[in-house]
Amino acid sequence: MDCKRCLLFTLVGLSSVITLASAVNNRPIIGVLSQTTSGDFEQFGEAWVAASYVKMLESAGARVVPILVHQPDEYYKKMFNSLNGVVFPGGGQPDMMNSAYGKAGKLFYEMSIKSFDENEDYFLVWGECMGIELLSMITAKKDLLTETDGDPVSIALSFEKDFRKSKMYSAAPESIINTLKTKVNLNHHHLSLTPTNFSKNAALTEFYRVLTTSSDISGIEFISSLEAYKYPIYGLAFHPEKNCFEWTYDCIDHSADVVKVTHYFANFIVSEARKSNHAFSSEAEANSSLIYQYAPVYTGNISIFEQAYFFNP
């Protein structure tokens, strides 16, 4: 091969590396959807986000923006175009689908799908606890949840045979899988999507792959993790963020192996967000939206959350 051809191949190879590198966003910003306050939280503001979600995302190299509720659709469209993903956190909202949390979540879900279908544009949607419940309702267009006893309890995961084909668990070390198979996954919910209800709804079975199931104290089986076949949409019924950042319950496992589970999920979430190149119009605009503009409040004496952020939309 002559020198000119060597140079050409070198330049082509270098170009490919540069293109590949530029496709990875190493400054991801993820939104955490807030929810309307109630009870003791009302004294601090109109909306809130648990600090443990923020800490988990930051621990894996992402910055966080709180997504406010009770905003016009234009606000959520702007946030979608500016952020690299969204987390639907756990908590509690009456009449969830019609709540401000539910309505905003539905908009992000729909925008993620539409943008992927029309432009192959990648935007992460991650739902935990109440978040996976909302995802099931949005996809099924109805409430198929069953009452379960998860208040609070650590429960093992049972993995489906083809779980290694999933995006969520394909790269998980055996040590992480083995830890998840023991009773270390903190659940705190009274409603769940059962495999039976899932299998009876075509909208759900065509959209999601079930990855794991668990059983509550009374033996009712429920879906504990799932992901969309086509889209970057994921759901967990349990709380990996609590292993590192919440201490209000003795049943939360803080052992070294379980802390690694938190790190695994945090890194997975952020790695998915890195695939998105959405961005704020300027760094100044980003800075004005970040969670750094707010100070967390100690709430461990009045709630199950050690700290929370509060907002007045």
Q: Which residues are catalytic?
A: 129, 239
Q: Are 222 and 132 spatial neighbours (Cβ–Cβ below 8 Å)?
A: no
68 vs 272: CA distance, rounded Å: 23
Which of 166, 38, 162, 56 has the alpha carbon at shortest distance from 95? 38
CA torsion sign for 171, 110, 106, 308 is positive
Q: Are 282 and 290 spatial neighbours (Cβ–Cβ below 8 Å)?
A: no
Q: What is the DSSP letter of 306?
A: S
Residues 6+ apart with CB under 8 A from 160: 210, 211, 212, 213
65 vs 25: CA distance, rounded Å: 16
Pairing of strands 124-128, 85-88: parallel
User: 144 in helix, strand or coil?
Assistant: coil
Strand partners, 153: 187
End-to-end CA distance of the chain: 65
